[in-house]
Amino acid sequence: MADPSKPDTETRDAERDESEKRAGADRMPTPEEERAAEQNELDPEVAEHEREMAERGKNQQGEGRVV
């Protein structure tokens, strides 16, 4: 029986292939989807929270900091 903590060659190959793929959308939005998105109203509290989190991330120091 194979050691469950050691991936086999097939798994390693699949993981390597997956790691080399670029992240992104599988397709662009349709014109109808774009119009529907533009009609959404933003919640001011959510927008403010997003700004605060972006600022906090920008100023992060110490462990967990992405350089």
How many angstroms separate the CA atoms of 25 and 4, rounded?
33
| pLDDT at site 37 | 94
Q: Are 51 and 43 in contact (CB under 8 A)?
A: no
pLDDT of residue 59: 82
Q: What is the pLDDT of residue 64?
A: 67
DSSP 3-22: -TTS--HHHHHHHHHHHTSP
What pTM did the predictor assign?
0.41
Q: How many CB atoms lie within 10 A of CB 7?
A: 13
Structure confidence at residue 25 (pLDDT): 86
Per-residue pLDDT at 57: 84
As averages over each run of 10 residues, the pLDDT of the chain (67 residues) reads: 82 94 90 95 94 89 71
**Residue with the two structure tokens 């699949």:** 14
Q: How far is CA 35 from the centre of its chain?
A: 24
